């Protein structure tokens, strides 16, 4: 029997742990934890990792298809990797698919199903869903066909037929514009569950898109020769905003309803909106008779619209913990030992998330995104033998990854997300301390600042420390969150679909 491979650290290596103040605040909330445990754990090295057998690392399953991750460029594990972990010199991770590609017909059908039926269909809907959607589709088919004739008649009635352009051509251009908008509405419906867990962010984004579409429509006055393409783009954007606003309306009304009065709340809310819309329309008609500047009027009204929309979304108080509110709750718990109330948590939630914003935590990620070399995985795997997830940090991407095992349940996913944020807190504290030390030097080397966050740091100590903190504080976090009225669900955290499988492929 081969001896276990230990993780040894060079004598000159300095293990950077979180500041004592942070650890003391966390441990003060957990009275059951022995006082001498952290000191002993800091001196003890992580458990010896098991060597990869014949280059195999693990299995991964995504939507029923499996991949095998193996060590590329070597068989059995040899030599030493980063942090003292066993691994072949210069080895890398390679993904090997275990199934043949799907036939083109099945891929097309799967693509179509992702747009026309809900996730988990037919088990995710009631039996009456299919007849209802069939009649609804038929109704919209006749309605769309009728719209061509009604639009052409209306345009002809207002005198368009007297111009050089025929009423039929004008009607066709108008119908093409509306048709493009309907296509955009249909494609955006694929977002699915995002309308449930990020409804505030999507609601504000929809209002922002609505203003962009209105701006494009106003621009057609300056470029009438490009009316059709510009009007089509504007209508696509506005219809995407419309489907987003409609999809997020009911959950917001539900948050305000007490008892079985959601219908009444919805009706009254729509009534108030219609009254305000009529008043705004009347005022704009009165102002337009004075021929004000189009650009000035649009800028003023657009700023007022967006400001009102932002405040409207921020005023919504939800009792569910999505990613944004979960981050607020965990950060507050780590720093103060307390969970914010529903109103405080919602007020601190980030409303606008631009697409280019860096997300420091990923849940349910694929193996290849989290690990780019086998040594890191082999080193930390023993720390999570008793867990149904694995949490790691990729210094190259400056991101914490929570990989889920195939046995992971709802509570395991929530715990993985909690663990990922705890580890992120330790990593950020270490980065801040390194930067502060660098700035204190008499002649700091500016060339080191860019590589400060991506250096080949030993983060195994942070992972080991986070494991101890999570094992003792996760129960307290859940208890305090329930006391504040928060509802936690793994679906609201939007985890990825990838799962690590325990068995080795045949």
What residue segments make up the domains of the chain, in order of their start?
113-315, 323-438+453-492
Of 81-85, 163-167, 208-212, minimum mean pLDDT range: 81-85
Stretch 394-416: mean pLDDT, rounded? Answer: 91
Rounded Cα gap, residues 370 and 394, in angstroms: 6
Q: What is the pLDDT of residues 336-392, one digit of tens each?
A: 999 999 989 998 999 888 878 888 999 999 998 998 888 888 889 999 999 999 999
Stretch 212-233: mean pLDDT, rounded? Answer: 79
Query: b/e string for 135-167 if b means 16 or more Cβ within 10 A?
Result: eeeeeeeeeeeeebeebbeebbeeebeeeeeeb
Res 261 pLDDT > 50: yes
Rounded Cα gap, residues 327 and 322, in angstroms: 8
Q: What is the pLDDT of residues 444-478, one digit of tens each?
A: 554 444 444 444 446 788 899 999 999 999 999 99
From residue 307, how far is each of 7, 303, 335, 349 by CA, in Å?
55, 6, 32, 17
Q: What is the pLDDT of residues 55-71, one digit of tens each?
A: 888 888 887 788 888 88
Query: pLDDT value at position 8?
Result: 41
Query: pLDDT value at position 144?
Result: 59
Res 76 pLDDT > 60: no
Q: What is the pLDDT of residues 119-173, one digit of tens each?
A: 666 776 656 566 756 776 765 576 555 545 444 444 444 344 455 555 666 566 6
State the average pLDDT for the chain: 74
Q: Domain 113-315: which CATH class?
A: mainly alpha
Name the phi and psi angles at 94, rounded to 5: -125, 135
Res 191 pLDDT > 90: no
Res 209 pLDDT > 50: yes
């Amino acid at each position: 029997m081969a001896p276990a491979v230990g993780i040894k650290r060079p004598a000159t290596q300095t293990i950077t742990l979180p500041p004592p103040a942070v650890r003391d605040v966390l441990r003060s909330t957990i009275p059951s934890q022995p006082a001498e445990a952290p000191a002993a754990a800091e001196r003890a090295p992580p458990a010896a990792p098991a060597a990869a057998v014949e280059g195999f690392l693990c299995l991964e399953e995504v939507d029923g298809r499996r991949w095998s991750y193996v060590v590329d460029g070597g068989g059995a594990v040899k030599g030493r990797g980063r942090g003292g972990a066993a691994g072949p010199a210069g080895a890398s991770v390679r993904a090997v698919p275990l199934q043949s590609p799907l036939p083109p017909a099945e891929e097309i059908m799967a693509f179509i199903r992702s747009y026309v039926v809900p996730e988990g269909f037919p088990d995710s809907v009631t039996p009456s869903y299919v007849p209802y959607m069939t009649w609804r589709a038929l109704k919209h088919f006749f309605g769309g066909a009728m719209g061509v004739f009604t639009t052409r008649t209306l345009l002809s009635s207002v005198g368009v037929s007297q111009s050089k352009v025929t009423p039929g051509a004008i009607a066709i251009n108008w119908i093409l514009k509306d048709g493009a908008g309907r296509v955009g509405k249909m494609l955006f419906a694929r977002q699915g569950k995002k309308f449930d867990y990020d409804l505030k962010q999507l609601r504000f984004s929809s209002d922002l898109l609505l203003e962009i579409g209105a701006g494009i429509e106003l621009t057609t006055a300056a470029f009438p020769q490009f009316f059709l393409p510009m009007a089509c783009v504007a209508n696509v954007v506005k219809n995407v905003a419309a489907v987003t606003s409609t999809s997020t309306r009911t959950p917001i009304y539900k948050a305000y309803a007490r008892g079985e009065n959601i219908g009444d709340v919805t009706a009254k809310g729509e009534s108030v909106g219609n009254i305000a819309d009529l008043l705004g329309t009347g005022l704009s008609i009165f102002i337009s008779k004075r021929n004000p500047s189009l650009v000035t009027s649009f800028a003023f009204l657009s700023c007022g619209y967006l400001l009102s929309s932002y405040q409207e979304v921020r005023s919504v108080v939800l009792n569910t913990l999505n990613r944004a509110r979960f981050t607020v709750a965990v950060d507050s718990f780590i720093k103060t030992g307390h969970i914010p109330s529903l109103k405080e948590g919602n007020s601190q939630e980030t409303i606008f998330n631009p697409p280019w914003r860096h997300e420091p935590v990923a849940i349910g990620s694929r193996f290849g995104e989290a690990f780019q070399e086998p040594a890191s995985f082999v080193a930390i795997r023993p720390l999570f033998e008793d867990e149904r997830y694995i949490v790691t940090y990729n210094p190259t991407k400056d991101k914490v990854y929570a990989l889920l095992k195939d046995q992971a349940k709802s509570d395991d996913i929530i715990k993985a997300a909690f663990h990922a944020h705890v580890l992120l807190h330790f990593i950020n504290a270490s980065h801040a301390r390194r930067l502060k030390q660098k700035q204190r030097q008499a002649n700091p080397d500016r060339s080191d600042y860019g590589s400060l966050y991506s250096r080949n740091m030993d983060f195994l100590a942070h992972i080991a420390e986070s494991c101890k903190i999570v094992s003792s504080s996760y129960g307290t976090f859940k208890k305090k969150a329930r006391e504040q009225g928060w509802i936690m669900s793994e679906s609201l955290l939007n985890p990825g679909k990838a799962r690590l499988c325990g068995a080795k492929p045949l």
